[in-house]
Each structure stands twice: as structure tokens, then as C-alpha cells.
Amino acid sequence: MSQLAKDMTPSITWKEMTMGCNIYEGGTSEMVETGDWRTNKPVLDWDKCKQCLLCAPVCPDLSIPVGKDGKREDFNYFFCKGCGICANVCPFGAITMVKDEK
Amino acid sequence: MSYSLKENLMKEERLAGGHRMCAGCGSPIAVRTILRALEPEDKAVVCSATSCLEVSTFMYPYTSWKGSFIHNAFENAAATISGVETAYRALKKQGKIDDSYKFIAFGGDGGTYDIGFQSLSGAMERGHDMVYVCYDNEAYMNTGIQRSSSTPHFADTTTTPAGKVIPGKMQQKKNLTKIMVAHGIPYAAQTTFIGNFKDISEKAHKAIYTPGAAFLNVMAPCPRGWRYPSEKLMEITKLAVETCVWPLYEVFEGKYTLNYRPKEKKPVVEYLKTQGRFAHMFKPGNEWMIEEVQKEVDRNWEDLLKLSEL
Amino acid sequence: MGIRERLSGNEAVAYAMKQINPDVMGAYPITPSTEIPQYFSAYVDNGEVDTEFIAVESEHSAMSTCIGAQAAGARAISATSSCGLCYMTEMLYVAASDRLPITLAVSCRALSGPININNDHSDAMGVRDTGWLMLFAENNQEAYDNYLQAMRIGEAVSLPIMICQDGFITSHAIENIELVETEKVKEFVGKYEPQHFLLKKDEPMSVGAYATSVYYMEAKRQQAQAMIDAKEVIKKVGAEFGKITGRTYGLIETYEMEDAEEAILIIGSSAGTAKEAIQELRAQNKKVGLIKIRSFRPFPSEEIAEALKHVKAFAAMDKDDSFNAHCGPIYAETCAALYAAGIHEPKGINYIYGLGGRDVRVESIQHVFAELEKIVQTGDTGETYRYLEVRE
């Protein structure tokens, strides 16, 4: 019987649920999209970005990944809730908040 | 080793996305930063008190914790993690575990300054090899912005509404960091999010790697409760530090060190005016409230200066 | 054969703990269970056990540390009484719902107020719905024997277990006792090898979820099944224990019930008094008997119904009161057991007795049997909710 979080669906029976609502994997919330909470979204102007990385630690939603090369990558819009902290801290005006048309 | 933001960010993130904290919340910023202070070879068991953080990071079957995590109740994160830490020592002694683990508990100010205070005091006094982190957002945000003993003087909360007779919370904020210092623990510090996160990152590393019990008090603003636009978080933490409302300091084996001294201490009004919870203090006739807060901040700052010069 | 000793109930339990050598104990002093962590700390400080002892600042933290430790993969134990058990109640629910087989020794004592340090069952009965397994002992020997069986039972069904004895009456009274050799204890109890735990190599685990209404009820149903399954486990472990010691245990013990027409149901040390009362009445050719409930959680409903089906009248003896203007818990659950089994013949009354250390004498129990005899003779049950040995 699966003990994976992905199989603990809302239709699961009590016999199939993991014991005591425990989960035996890390980071299963990565299956959850929180990007749909967003009204505004950050957009990065790659030409203006100096890779100072000040935007990366301020993100509450792990939406500004930094790669193995030490450079920030594009926003992870699956998680980004559009709080705008990153745009506000960017010293170079490289991040703009725009209305998220979905 | 000198601090590098780039190197810090290249470390593994131990908090996962997909958590349900509000947009712009300070708490997950604190959590992910503190967990990045762990050395890659170390594992950690994290405990969270019941709080916004807890209900948002482990809603069955979705956990945002990449390593092992335990939530127990509101008032006992310190006791719970002390049990985990003790089990680790017991099992390690018996040769049942070969991994190296660190133990970190998170609680909001309600779960730390108030209901979890006894449990925290007990764990600190017993000296478990653990770090207790208070993410201090100065009220019970999870239940809807009620005052805690950490709520600042005059703040408008849902249980201290700025009324016609009583204008907000009538008591000063409890100084928990100093109380923790009084436990004689090897390391206690107060920090928040500033610039390149050097202050909080270095303190987190010291807290984790100083043997014994350590306490970190992290100001973690709540845009809903404090009533400011979510993007302003870093402006607010900066003002808290520049006005000396939230000084950055650490106490290592009883010795106070002030980590940042503003060139020019800003008036507290600069900080107060950024947040809706203080809006009533700016009404005509309420000038005395601002004056009083300024006096309190000055007094605490002077105390801290004296302590750091000892 | 075992080792003959003379020990108080508290010391017997502490000695069982020492023989088992668990990983972590988190405990806080409270009368009358204080001696248990006291004895145990001496074992720890003299290097007689490997256990890490956490001298916590409250019972709430005692149970919180046990939850943390057991979830981390350790065997965790504690001991408490009375208000201490009350104070950890919130955590008792969590321990059960997290499915952590923690073992808690309880030396039962009355609850405040008024403050009283003597025995009754208000503390244990107050936490009867927390999801813990609960075994009660009549004497020191049973307290010791139950403790040795506790981990086998709890760990088999992933539920925490309370081993209850009567404060002072057995906890402090020194009695002859037969101890099991430590090697045999270790073999019987076995090692704790949980499938999942926080410190497991290469498997991160999250414990203590927020379960929405989509999952909460399924989680509770799962927990209920563990309690149902525990009935067979208790019997199996009790039988196995009998093979190595000659002392076999079940969910209930019946005494002179084969032809009994009047019976009492009782928990704990007063069963001993009841046995003596019954011997005297039997000598007068009275057909009286006793059902001693060893396992209150799970509640042995079928066994009790079976034992009561031929009696004419019974008295359920509650050493606490539910303050429902109606009855105590043993009466309520016994009546429900009979009703569920379709047994409607026996007339039943309830006695609230022994509160706050009120003495229960042989004559007290004989008075109860005299009342039952009257009910049988007259066919009139009268008041069912009664207090025993209270000044009117």
C-alpha cells in the first residue's frame, strides 16, 4: 500500500491513510500551486539585473531560485504569491510588478 | 570565513514552496534563512509551535519541511524539541544513529513570549543542544491579530482596539531576549532582515553551532496585522533597526555585543507612521503617545549601550 | 522461578523500568507518583540504566518531551498522578493521535478541589477518552506485571499506554512481590523498532499534521481500530506473560462468578477488599461474585456482558463521579455493554465510593451486596445513583 503523500487523496479511506497523518517524505507541499493566489506578478528585466541577489533571500515563497552558478534564475510562478518584496528591494529597478492576467 | 550572500544562497533550501503563509509574510523568510545556516553535512529536526507557520507548512498530506519535522501543540515547541534532542543523544550513545543532527524550534511571539514561555524557560535552563527561534510578529496573527505580551505599546489589535477610552495596548512590549539572556544560556541574539542578510545568517550559524541552548529573536513583520503594503517589508525592518525600536545585538556567554549602531538614530515616528496599527497615535491630541514610545525606546537603547560597553 | 522481594508499588514500577532500560524518561514530581522518577533518577545517576532522564519543569513538558522522544525513535516513559495527569491531558490526546506508544505510570489520586492527596480514580477516569490504553492494578504485583507487558501491547497497536495503580494504597504500601529475572524481562519486552521515526536514515518524516475535515475523521477511525485491535493483543501478551511467570492476565478477572446471582464490578485495589468480603459471604452461602476490570481502555464490553448475563443484580463501583446527575463511567459503560449484547435481565445500580481516600472496608462491600440482595428480593432497583460511606 502506498505511503506517498501524492496518494493521500481526499477520497482515500481510513485504512489506506498513513498512520497518524504522518508523512514519510520531505517537501511534499511542492505539489501545491500557490501562484494562483497572485494578483500582481513580478517580471524581471534581465538587462537591468546585475545578479546582486538581494531579491533572493527576501522571498517568502522560495520563488527566486539561485542556480549552482550562483546566479538567480527566473521566478517560479508556480509558488510566487506576488507580494512584491523583491521588486521593492531591487536597487536597479530590474523587477516590475505587473497585473497578472490569467 | 567571511559572509557571502551568493554562497549563502547556493546552499540547500530546507523549506519548500507551496506553503500557505500569506503573501509577504516575514516568517518563512526567517525560517528559510535560518535553515540555510546549517552546514550541508548536518541534518536537522525542526519543531514548530502551533502557529501560522505550522498550519501553513504541514497541512496533510503536504509538508513544506524537507527534513524531519514535528508539530506538537501551541505551548510546547521547546519541550518537544528537547525530547527529540534527548532521544538523539540516547540513540547516538547506543550506536543506533550515525548521522549528525541539529535541533531547531520555531514559535511565534504568542507561542514564545506567552503560552510557551514556561516550556521555553525549562528547555533553556536544562541546556539542551538546540536553538529556539521566535519569529516575532508582535501579536496572535493566526487567530486574527490579538495582543500578546510582545505587542508594542499603543498598538491597535483586535483585543486592544484603539477605542475612545483606551487607545490600544496600554502595556509595553516584554523584553524576551533579555529574559533569555538571564537564563545564562551560551548564546542569545536579536535580529531581523537587513540588507544582504549577513546579520541574521551569521547569528543563525552561531546559534546552531554554539553547543548548548541558544535563543534567536527575529522580528518578522506581518503585513496584515501591522497594516502595511506587503512589498514594504524590508523598509519596515530597516526602520525598526534605524530607530532602535529593534536593536541588533547578541549575547555570547553573557557578553553583550551591539551589532549595529545607527550613525544617526532616527525618531521613532518614522517607524510608527509606516503601519496602520499605530495610525491612531497620529490623531491630534495623541502626541503624548508618540512621546512616550520615544522615551521607552531611548531608555531601552541606553540600557543596551551600557550593557554592550561592559 | 522469579525473585522474591518486598517492594512498594512505586518501587516495583521503577524496578520494572530499570529492567526494561528505556531510552528517555521525562518526568515531574507529584504526590504520590514522585517516588517513581526518584528511584529511576538514582538508577540513571548510578549508571544502572542507559536512559536519558529529563527533569522537566511541568507535567505538560513531561508528556511533550516524551512525544518528541518517541517520535524521534526512542522508547519514552513518564510517571504522574492527579493534577499532573490533568495538566498533561492536552498532550495525551496528541500522543495517541500521533500513534506514539509512550508508557505512563499513574499512581491514581483525587483531583483538586478541595485539594486532596489520597487515592481515587478521578485523574485516570478524567483522561479515559484521550485514546490511551489503560490497565489498572489491584496490587503491587499487578502494577509490576502490567508494566512489563505495557510496551508489548502499546507498540503492537501503536498507541500509548497508561499503567495505573492506586495512590498510597499500592504505590506506598510494601508487599511481597515476585520479580522476573532481568534477562527474561528483556527477552519478553524486546527491542523497539519503529517503522518510521524522525531520526531514521534517509527518510525525512513530518509528524503532527493539520488535518482538515477531509482527513480528520479518517484519522480518528484509524485510531479507533487500533483500540479495537488492542483487545486481542492484551489477551495474547497476558497469556504469554503467564507462560514465563505463571501469572496470566486478560481484560477482566472474574472471581466467584460461575454461579453468582449478585455481582460487583470494580477497578484497582478495592478488588482485594471485595474478594475478602465475598469469601465471608460465600461462607454464609451467598451467591456473590466480582468482576475486576483490568483493562478499562479498551473497554471489555463483550467479556463483561458475558460475565453478567446470568446475575440477578449488579453494582458498578466508580471511584470517581462524572457529575452528570446520573452515574459514573463504569456504570455507564457496563450498562451500554449489556444493552449492546441484548442482555436486559440484571438489575444494576451504581456506587460512587472511596473518593479522596475514603476508606473502603470489607463491611462497605458487604453493605453493597446486602443492597443487591434487597433488590433481588423486592424486584425494586430504587435509586441507581448512590454514594457509599458518605455521612448523611
pLDDT at C350 over 90: yes
Best B14, B21, B53, B60 member to test C by mutation, with max C CBs in 10 Å, is: B60
Type of residue at C11: E
* For A89, nearest residue in chain B (alpha carbons): B234
How far apart CA C220 and CA A14 sit, in angstroms, is 8
Type of residue at C282: R
CB neighbourhood size of B181 (10 A): 21
Per-residue pLDDT, A24: 98
Contact (CB, 8 A) for C255 and A48: no
Give the residue carrying C-alpha cell 504469554. C240
Best C93, C94, C100, C196 member to test A by mutation, with max A CBs in 10 Å, is: C196
Considering only CB atoms, A23 lies closest to which of C205, C219, C221, namely C205
Q: Is B33's Cβ below 8 Å from some Cβ in A?
A: yes
Contacts of C204 in chain B (CB under 8 A): 65-69
CA dihedral B21, B23, B24, B28 (to 10 degrees): 20
**Grid cell locating B228:** 502595511
Contacts of A5 in chain B (CB under 8 A): 61-63
Kindly report the average pLDDT of chain C as a whole number: 98
pLDDT at C283 over 90: yes
Contact (CB, 8 A) for A60 and B17: no
- The pLDDT tens digits for B251-285 are 999 999 999 999 999 999 999 999 999 999 999 99
Considering only CB atoms, C74 lies closest to which of B61, B76, B91, namely B91
- The pLDDT tens digits for C9-19 are 999 999 999 99
Task: Give the neighbours of chain C: at least 3 Cβ pairs within 8 Å.
Answer: A, B
How far apart CA A9 and CA A1 sit, in angstroms, is 14
State whether B19 and A34 contact (CB < 8 Å).
yes
Per-residue pLDDT, A52: 98
Comparing CA positions, the residue from C37, C42, C49, C36 lying closest to residue C10 is: C36
How far apart CA C226 and CA C76 sit, in angstroms, is 20
- The pLDDT tens digits for B48-107 are 999 999 999 999 999 999 999 999 999 999 999 999 999 999 999 999 999 999 999 999
How far apart CA C177 and CA C206 sit, in angstroms, is 43
Kindly report the average pLDDT of chain B as a whole number: 98
* Prediction ipTM score: 0.97
> Is the entire prediction scored with pTM above 0.90?
yes
**Grid cell locating B290:** 508618540
CB neighbourhood size of C331 (10 A): 24
pLDDT tens by residue, chain A, 102 residues: 899 999 999 999 999 999 999 999 999 999 999 999 999 999 999 999 999 999 999 999 999 999 999 999 999 999 999 999 999 999 999 999 999 986
Comparing CA positions, the residue from B261, B255, B287, B83 lying closest to residue B184 is: B255
- The pLDDT tens digits for B226-236 are 999 999 999 99
User: Which segments within chain A are labelled E, that is strand?
Assistant: 40-44, 95-99
Average pLDDT over residues B149-163: 98
What percent of chain C is predicted at pLDDT more than 90? 99
Task: Give the neighbours of chain A: at least 3 Cβ pairs within 8 Å.
Answer: B, C
Chain A residues contacting B, CB < 8 Å?
5-6, 8, 18, 21, 23, 25-34, 37-38, 53-54, 56-63, 66, 68, 70, 76, 78-79, 81-85, 87-89, 97
How far apart CA B266 and CA C180 sit, in angstroms, is 74
* Phi (first) and psi of residue C116, to 5 degrees: -155, 135
Contact (CB, 8 A) for B105 and B62: no
Scan residues 68-87 of B and list those with Cβ closer than 8 Å to A: 68
Average pLDDT over residues C203-222: 98
Q: Is C211's Cβ below 8 Å from some Cβ in A?
A: yes
* For A21, nearest residue in chain C (alpha carbons): C209
State whether A8 and C215 contact (CB < 8 Å).
yes
How far apart CA C78 and CA B83 sit, in angstroms, is 12
How many angstroms away from the CA of B50 is the closest CA of chain A? 16
How far apart CA B86 and CA C133 sit, in angstroms, is 25
Comparing CA positions, the residue from C159, C158, C136, C131 lying closest to residue C147 is: C136
Q: Is the peptide bond before B221 cis (omega within 30 degrees of 0)?
A: no
DSSP C355: G
Tell me how far the alpha carbon of residue A85 is from its chain's centroid.
14
Best B46, B68, B75, B101 member to test C by mutation, with max C CBs in 10 Å, is: B68
Per-residue pLDDT, C172: 97
Average pLDDT over residues C51-66: 98
* For C98, nearest residue in chain B (alpha carbons): B72
How far apart CA C226 and CA A14 sit, in angstroms, is 12
pLDDT at B1 over 80: no
Contact (CB, 8 A) for C95 and C64: no
Best B35, B38, B74, B91 member to test C by mutation, with max C CBs in 10 Å, is: B91
State whether A10 and C211 contact (CB < 8 Å).
no
Considering only CB atoms, B17 lies closest to which of A21, A61, A97, namely A61
Give the residue carrying C-alpha cell 550506536. B95
State whether A26 and C99 contact (CB < 8 Å).
no
Q: Is C227's Cβ below 8 Å from some Cβ in A?
A: no
Give the residue carrying C-alpha cell 527566486. A64
Per-residue pLDDT, B85: 98
Q: Any alpha helices (H) in chain B, and if so which ranges?
A: 5-9, 27-36, 52-57, 77-93, 109, 117-126, 176-181, 198-209, 223-226, 233-242, 268-272, 287-309
Per-residue pLDDT, B310: 82
Contacts of B16 in chain C (CB under 8 A): none
State whether A62 and B61 contact (CB < 8 Å).
no
* For B233, nearest residue in chain A (alpha carbons): A85
What percent of chain C is predicted at pLDDT more than 70? 100
Considering only CB atoms, A24 lies closest to which of C97, C203, C214, namely C203
How far apart CA A40 and CA C144 sit, in angstroms, is 66
- The pLDDT tens digits for C160-173 are 999 999 999 999 99
Contacts of C229 in chain A (CB under 8 A): none
Per-residue pLDDT, A74: 98
Per-residue pLDDT, A101: 83
